[in-house]
Structures are given as C-alpha cells and as structure tokens.
Structure 1
Amino acid sequence: MNLPFFIAKRYFFARKKTSFISLISFISMLGVCIGTMALVIVLSVFNGLEEFQKGLFKSFDAELKVSAVKGKNFACNEAFLQKLQKIEGITSITQVIQESALLRYKDAQMVVTLKGVDENFLKQERLKKSLIDGVPKLGGTGLNYAIVGSGIAFTLGIDLDAFFVPIEAWYPRNTHSKTLDFHSTDAFNRLNVLPSGIFAIEQDYDNNYAFVPLEFAQELFEYGNKRTSLEIQVKNPTQIASVQEQLKEILGKGFLVQNQDEQHASLLRAIKIEKLFVFLTLSFIIGIASFNIFFSLSMLAIEKKPDVKTLIAMGAATGAIKKIFLYEGAIVALSGAFTGLILGFLICWLQQIYGFISMGIIGSLVDAYPIKMHPSDFFFTAVVVIFMTLCASYFPAQRAVEKQ
C-alpha cells in the first residue's frame, strides 16, 4: 500500500534544506519576479505609445478618408457628394485637395504639403486644441488665409502681427508643352495667402502641413472639379465601421475607404511588431531565469536522495514524490510571478497618476512615458512565466525519481 501523498509531503518538507539551496531558490524567485515585472511594464509602455499615436491622429486625421485606388485624384461633383451624404450616420464631408507646393515668406522659402479644405473642416474643430497662436480662419472679407504648422512658421519666420505681409505659394503650371522653362516666372502659378494661425500637433505634421481654402488650392493646382480625398465625420464613433462598409459598397473597388488606424497602418503595425519582439525577448530572459529553478531543484534532488529512499521504502508512490518536487518549483515560480505582476501593476499605476519617469526630451508633447495597462498582457505574461518555470521543474523531478 502506497504512503499517502500528504504524509510524504510533510515528511519531505520537515527536513530543512541547506542555506545554499535556499539561497538559490530565493534568487530564482527574484529573477522570475524581476523578469515578470519588466515584461508587464514594457508591454504597458508600448500600449501607451500606441494610444498616444492614435490620439495624435484623431486631432488631425478624419474619422473616415475616401481616396482613389489608382492615381492621386478623382472627379467630384455635387451629385456625387449628395449620394454619399444620404448614408445614415454621416454628419459632414470635407473636400480636400492636397499637393506639395513652394511657400515663400519675405526672404525664406520651403516646400510644404499644402492642404486645401472647405468650410466643413473648421466646423469639425479638429485644430481647436492644437492651435498655439492666431485664430482658426481660412476665409472671409474676400481674402484667403492659411493655418500653418509651427515648424513651417519657424523656418519661414512668419509673423502673425505683420498683417500686410503675405505668404507666396508657387506651383508649376499644367501645360501641354513638352518643354517648360523653370527659370521663367510664367512657368508657375503664384498666389498670395495671409497667415492666420499656427498649430502644433506632432513634428511630422508641424514641419510639413499648411491648411488653405479649397478654392485657393483649386486655383493654384488647377484641379477644377477633381479632389485628392474626402474626409468624412461620423455622428457616433460606434457607427464608423458600419458607415465604412456602406461607403465601400456604394463607391466600389475604385475607391479606398480608410478609418484612422488604416490611414497609419504601417506605423501601428511597426509598433505591434516591436511589441511582439520585445515580448519574445523578455520571455527568453525569463526562460533563462527559470534555469535557476532547474539547478536548485537538481541540487535539492541530490541532497534529498536519502529522504527519497526512505519515502519509497515506506511505500510512497513515484508519482507522489515527483509532485513534491513539482510543487517546490511551482511555489518558487508562482511566488515570483505573482509578486512581479503586483509590482508591475503598481509601478504602471504610479506612472499613470504621477508620471515620475520622464522622457527627458525638451519640447516633447508629453513629459512622461505614456502607460496603458491591458488585462491580456497580464494574462499572457503569467501564462508564459508559469509554463516556463513548470517545464524547468519537471525534469529535475523526473530525474529524482528515476535515479531511485
């Protein structure tokens, strides 16, 4: 008759381990704890960076964007717009003409992305929180106004108080001639626009984008009834997916309908891939830390060899003895994993509330590292840690029984 497992376990743990093995077990638990904590924190930082990027897009990009699959523009008339406006959930449609143009202000000049938009753009108030100087104005009193990025304003030295100093916009004329003399001013369309405001969103936007009235861009680029895109605002964020599907069905395969995430799919995909590789790298580090459990249990099996013989002589089953070693490894693993998850959660929570870890970048949009905790990250971290440490515990337990 086999010795009951709980009697065997009490007998086994009643015999003290040497201080050296106890130290190895503590170091193993500490390694698992630190690895788990680091994994939770790093994944939460990547989540925060992803949410931060999406927040920047929301202040600049439309909820839905319609563009041509082939070519950079498409014909857009009133009937076409009315057809789209009938879709339930759409509140406004902004017509966009976007091209690169040369801007000159006094003695400075630079090439920027000039974005012509209609009056619906200002009604959406997408630049309201980003405006750092001036007023959000594109037209009125028979004059054309421009809202420029802070990087453009700095490079050109734009002074909003200089009311009568315009910005010159230059763009090559559409000509059917085979040769074009770029040294002649007649080769370019040139229009003046007054600066009305300066916005600051993110460096890539601030250094490249300037907003002008749609009619101004239409005349400068000679686009006629052509548009490069349509930016659509939806009444309720929960309707974005359904409106997107309706647009795809109505417009057909010749048009591309993208939500905000799809407009920056390459960037968000890069963040997710980087997060995956960081997860795998830190999991590998946790796996290395789990080898300490392997060594500590291997040494424990050697030290407890006489006790194992005694238990077998008393009728203990080999499976019961194997469970004792597995439980020993599980105690170390679960203690380290649980402590690491708690510490990781506390550090992330403190960072969210107080932001005590700064990014160390002067003039950055955020002072501290953004943090966002996902329950799935905690779950998968715990699963990976427990799986690795139990695997590290199994082989010493198996060998301890087989040697007897």
Structure 2
Amino acid sequence: MILNRFEWTVAKRYLLPGRGEAFIALVAGISLVAVALGVAALVVVMSVMNGFRAELLDKIVGLNGHAIIQAYGGRLDNWEQVLKDVRATPGVVKASPLIEQPLLTTFNGRVEAILVRGQTAPDIAAMKSKVISGSMDAITPDSGMVAIGARLAESLGARVGDSITVINPTGRDTPFGTVPRQVAYQVGAIFEVGIYDYDNAFVIMPIADAQTLLLTGDSIGMIEVKTDNADKAAEMLAPLGKKLAGQATITDWKTINAQLFDALAVDRVVTFVVLSLIVLVASFNILSSLIMLVRAKTRDIAIMRTMGASRRSIMKIFLTIGAVIGSLGTGAGLVLGFVFLFYRQNVLNFVQMVTGQQLWDPKIRFLTELPSRSDPVEVIGIVAMALGLSFVFTLFPAFKAASTDPVQVLRYE
C-alpha cells in the first residue's frame, strides 16, 4: 500500500490528534501499549517454554542417550555380542554398557535413596564439565571413589573426601538369613547436571565397581545408545529390536519421557492461545479508537471528498493509521520481550527477593535456572498474527470513513 504525499500528510496529522481529541489519543496509546504487552508476553513465554523443553531434552538425552536397551530380568549376560550388534547398526554413533540400580546411602546418620550408575571410563570422563568440586579423574576402578550429585551432597551434608556407605538390600545369604551388603566409598567428585532429580539421586562409579557392589558378576543391566538423529532413534533401532526379541527391550527417549513432553506440548499450545487473547483485545482497542477518530473527523472527510479525494485515498489514510499503531506496538513488544529474556534470571531473582517466594523451585521445574530459546519461525508467526489482527480490525473503520457521503454531512453547513 503506497501513499501519495496528500494521504501521508493527513495520516500523520490524524496520528497526532489535537487538544480536543485527547481522549482519542489516549485510547490509541492504550491500544499501542496493549499490543506491545501482548507481543512481549507471547515472545517471553514461548521462548521460555521452548528453552525449558530444549534444555530438558538436552540434559536428559545427554545423560541417558537417545535409547536404552534393557534386558528382561535386569541382567544382560551376553552383552558383549549385543553391544557389537548395536554399534554395527546404521545411524548409531555411540553405545555404552550401563548399570543402573536404586539403592540407599548413609552418611553421619542421614539416609537417602540413590540411583547407582555404573559407567565406562569414557562416559565418566564426559562428566568432567559438570563437576563443581573434586575431579572425575579420581573415579577409577577399584579406587573406592564415587561421584555424587550436588543436591544429594547437600542432603547428606557430604563433601569431597568424605566417606559414604552404600547399602545393597539383597546382600549375601548366610545361615542367619540375608545380610544387606554395605560398602564404603569416598566422595571423589560432586557434579551438577542441572536436573534436580538427577542431582538429588545419582551416584556414579566405574562399571566394574558397580558389578562388585551389586554382585552381578560380568553381566550388565542395559546398553545406552546415541544416534545421529534423536527424533528417528526408534526407527533406526527397529531392526535390532527383532533380533533381541525375548531377550531385551528397546525404549527410546520419547517413550521414556512421553508423559512429561506431552504435557509440555499441551501446555505450550494452551498458553499461546490464552496469551493471544491479549493481542486480540488490543486489536479491539485499535478498532474503537479508529471508530471514534472517524466520527470526530466526519466533517473533515466530507470536505476532502468534495475537494476531490477518492474513497480509496480515505480508506488508505485510515488503514495506514491502524497499521502504524499495530506496527509500533509490535516493534515495541519485540524489544521489550527480548530485553526481558536477556535479564530474565535477574528479574526472577528480584521478584523472588521482593515477594519472599521461591517462584522457580528446581524440585518442581526440574531445571535449576530459568531457560530461554527463541524460535525465529515462532517469533515471525507472533509478529504476523499481531500485524494481521491490527490490519483486520482497521478495515471496518476505514470502510466506514470511505463510505462517508459529503452531501449528507455538509447539507446544513
């Protein structure tokens, strides 16, 4: 829509109403602010939800792989052959043996439920970037050293160098019954993955030490698999599943975390729809302000029509006014949204300090910090929706102004 000099001059004049039209200007200003707030809210919330899903996926998949091959009964005896078959499967980039078993640990009279993870040396070394105290280099077979999560360390009151006792309830059979197996391990490292459930439960040790603790001999519990495409992990491993039928089951990350990610997807859609109502209400404000402007300028419109202005020119003038209000509001909303996202953690900490409430509880949110990841396509969609609604709600007052009959308006002038 290209405006000539006359149309643009009139549009600029109407965008800045005179003294007698202060109320119209107020309504237009409220419309602009409402559009900005609606766009900002959508950008912030959708980016945070995208970041939450992406961070959660990265941390879960980064620690547990894209799929798990788990033996029936919890023991995979011929795991070396299965491991070779897995590594030979097209699309598989990494496969590692793994032992994972829920147990108990005690320290200074405190007892906590834990999840013992027996991992290979390369997998333990890959955790170095997560260490906040100690060193993963100390976690070697037969060293008696383990790494524990940061939240677990807090719960136990344990630090690097302290000795914790891991209890295996199955233990050994004796003439007096089954005696739980208790093994002392020294804390060699404390790590923080960023997911509360993991940091509150994981105790990582070499796989050989885990086999000794659990009395499983040379067998393992599962094989962790990573592929070159996480979304197609189940399809890539489907041929292998037929080979392992009756011996083990293959579960991909989507199935393991289906409930969590389905809930996130539903919440994401519902949140987008609800917040879109803010932009819708703002568009109604644009409609009402333009209707009032048309009524206030009826005489001016009639005069312009008698001086030769076409209906098309009048319509373009009012469409431009609505588009400018919508565009300014959308632009301001984008700036406000991205500024808020940049300082999101500071804003969250400030609100928590003022209210005295913990708004981001890691026990509930899984992650320790407020994440954010903006999707350019989604941001473009939000902008298109805001501009589209602003344009649609401008059409009626523009048509109304263009249909003004100068004869009827100026009859008694």
The answer to whether TM tops 0.5 is yes
CA contact (8 A) 1:32 1:333 kept: yes
Does the residue aligned with 1:357 lie in a helix, a strand or coil? helix
Q: Quote the Cα distance in structure 2 between the aligned partners of 1:301 and 1:332.
A: 15
Change (3 A) 1:322 1:72: farther
Cα deviation for residue 77 of structure 1 reads 2.8
In structure 2, the partner of 1:274 is: 267
Does the residue aligned with 2:343 lie in a helix, a strand or coil? helix
In structure 2, the partner of 1:248 is: 238
In structure 2, the partner of 1:36 is: 39
Q: Which residue identity does 1:327 align to in structure 2?
A: T
Match of 1:86 among 68, 85, 88: 88
The count of residues paired between Structure 1 and Structure 2 equals 380
Cα deviation for residue 211 of structure 1 reads 1.9
Cα deviation for residue 173 of structure 1 reads 6.0
CA contact (8 A) 1:170 1:188 kept: no
Q: Which residue identity does 1:132 align to in structure 2?
A: I
What are the within-5 Å matches in structure 2 for residues 143-162 of structure 1?
Answer: 144-158=144-158, 160-161=160-161
> Over the residues paired in the alignment, what is the CA RMSD in angstroms?
4.1
CA contact (8 A) 2:100 2:221 kept: yes
Q: Which residue identity does 1:192 align to in structure 2?
A: V
Cα deviation for residue 318 of structure 1 reads 4.4
**CA displacement, residues 77-117 of structure 1 (integer Å, 9 cap, x when unaligned):** 32222222334675653212222212234533222222223
Change (3 A) 1:14 1:310: farther
Which blocks of at least 5 consecutive residues in structure 2 are unaligned? 353-357, 406-413
Q: Quote the Cα distance in structure 2 between the aligned partners of 1:88 and 1:150.
A: 37
Q: Quote the Cα distance in structure 1 between the aligned partners of 2:121 and 2:9.
A: 83
In structure 2, the partner of 1:300 is: 293
- Note if 1:393 corresponds to 2:384: no
Q: Quote the Cα distance in structure 2 between the aligned partners of 1:192 and 1:74.
A: 24
Q: Which residue identity does 2:252 align to in structure 1?
A: Q
Change (3 A) 1:22 1:377: same
- Note if 1:379 corresponds to 2:380: yes
Q: Which residue identity does 1:351 align to in structure 2?
A: Y
Cα deviation for residue 28 of structure 1 reads 1.9
In structure 1, the partner of 2:409 is: none
Q: Quote the Cα distance in structure 2 between the aligned partners of 1:376 and 1:319.
A: 34
CA contact (8 A) 1:66 1:231 kept: yes
Change (3 A) 1:223 1:6: same
Change (3 A) 1:185 1:89: farther
Q: Quote the Cα distance in structure 2 between the aligned partners of 1:166 and 1:8.
A: 83
Change (3 A) 1:63 1:290: same
Does the residue aligned with 1:187 lie in a helix, a strand or coil? strand
- Note if 1:26 corresponds to 2:16: no
**CA displacement, residues 35-94 of structure 1 (integer Å, 9 cap, x when unaligned):** 3233323333333334443453365x1443323497766554322222223346756532
- Note if 1:208 corresponds to 2:208: no
Deviates more, 1:197-206 or 1:62-71: 62-71
Deviates more, 1:102-111 or 1:217-226: 217-226
Change (3 A) 1:73 1:303: farther
- Note if 1:129 corresponds to 2:123: no
Match of 1:331 among 308, 324, 348: 324
In structure 2, the partner of 1:290 is: 283
In structure 2, the partner of 1:357 is: 347
Change (3 A) 1:328 1:159: closer
Cα deviation for residue 199 of structure 1 reads 2.1
Which blocks of at least 5 consecutive residues in structure 1 are unaligned? 176-183
Q: Percent identity?
A: 22
Q: Which residue identity does 1:229 align to in structure 2?
A: M
Q: Quote the Cα distance in structure 1 between the aligned partners of 2:43 and 2:211.
A: 51
Match of 1:258 among 252, 256, 269: 252
Q: Quote the Cα distance in structure 2 between the aligned partners of 1:9 and 1:204.
A: 63
In structure 2, the partner of 1:181 is: none
